[in-house]
Copies of this chain bind each other. A is one copy, B any other.
């Protein structure tokens, strides 16, 4: 065993070193056994303080949580890669399906013992908190990703299309609530909450999934792609604003709703006109102009701000997600700070945290709850109404403002993508008690089906590179569609 490193010891002393080392080892073992012989005769006092016991239980749960995380991470990735490679779907759909597979709908059905072992009841709360913290971080990243230029600089056509694609499903959903409420709601939820929630949840567009689909088609910089992204961004902001109102109404009931709305307004104004300038002047400006990797202090400030903003919205009575999202939205979207935060956080959140959110969603989704033909009929009705509202609304509005029918149809199809955002909204509704697990399950199916249909329908309508088509004659812009 020759040393690679320059030794501090002259080589003549090597033998002595080895001898010292061996002697020490032997002596140590001998001494320990001498001590042990002496000590075994001692008796300890009986347990007085039981502090260790409570935590001993968690240790057993730790193994289960780690095992669950490992299986979830692997399966989500495997199914994600599968649907991406063989069905040309965005991987997130596979991750959602993997979550459903691990729940009572598949694993719990074909192999109840395996389900009970992998995701026992005492592990569910821990998985729940990990997935919720993960979604809070994810919504922060969505806010950080939200390009304000898409919102600010968008054409009237974008505003018209995006509003139509909110209002149409919102109203159709609310109307559908007339049939669903008497059958599936619980008595302690008002029709207003239920119908508004149903409407808003049908009007969600999955901005991140849409961005991913467009990126896969290299179409995120074509005019149609940009319009779709802008509409989705406006949709997201509007839908989440409406959802905050619904959440406020649902938790506060009618009497306190006014207070909730007031607090929300105070909170948003504080974020825009106090927190944002403060952060910008004192922190962001400095961090943006520096070089090299972000310091731990900078990261700590970002994390703490995001967590505190989330706590504030949770305290108001709307969900922690809004706070995380808004903090992301008021930070700068370009430059050193957001880029490094994204680099640090994005992959860990997407690979480690989000799959556990899907698994948590899967645990709450149970096909069992859809027992009869009536349930499946309603499920189908939700899917039809969701598509009709979202696709139809966008299509009609796009035609009305003068887009070609093919681009209008493509836009409608893209706006019908709900994916992950829908699941976040649905879990929120279930947490608030606005919807029941049965409605939750129906809506999860709706989210999956509407997201799944986007890619094949786009292929059918535009071909695989349809976005590169010259824009139809009624476009007033002169620059040709650019493909990155």
Interface 1/0 per residue, A2-23 and B, CB below 8 Å: 0111111111011011101100
Q: Which residues of B contact A4 (CB under 8 A)?
A: 149, 152-153
Q: Which residues of B contact A477 (CB under 8 A)?
A: 6-8
Within 8 Å by CB of A174, from B18, B35, B369, B403, lies: B35
Copies in the complex: 2
In the complex, what distance in Å separates the CA atom of A403 from the CA atom of B16? 13
**Residue A167, interface by CB 8 Å:** yes
Number of interface residues of A (CB under 8 A): 153
In the complex, what distance in Å separates the CA atom of A81 from the CA atom of B269? 32
Q: Which residues of B contact A63 (CB under 8 A)?
A: 311, 314-315, 320
Q: Which residues of B contact A296 (CB under 8 A)?
A: 77, 80, 91, 347, 350-351
Q: Is the CB of A55 within 8 A of B344?
A: no
Q: Is the CB of A76 within 8 A of B9?
A: no
Q: Is the CB of A181 within 8 A of B39?
A: yes
Q: Is the CB of B126 within 8 A of A403?
A: no
Q: Which residues of B contact A407 (CB under 8 A)?
A: 8
Q: Which residues of B contact A167 (CB under 8 A)?
A: 24-25, 27-28
Would you list 20 pairs from A and B whose C-beta atoms are within 8 A, ordered by A residue? A5-B154, A7-B155, A8-B402, A8-B477, A17-B159, A17-B160, A21-B163, A28-B171, A32-B195, A35-B178, A44-B182, A45-B185, A47-B436, A56-B432, A62-B133, A65-B133, A66-B310, A69-B133, A129-B129, A300-B351
Having A20-B160, A52-B437, A74-B304, one finds 16 other A-B pairs with CB under 8 Å, namely A5-B154, A5-B223, A6-B478, A8-B227, A9-B156, A17-B160, A24-B163, A24-B164, A28-B170, A40-B190, A43-B182, A44-B181, A293-B347, A299-B348, A299-B352, A303-B352
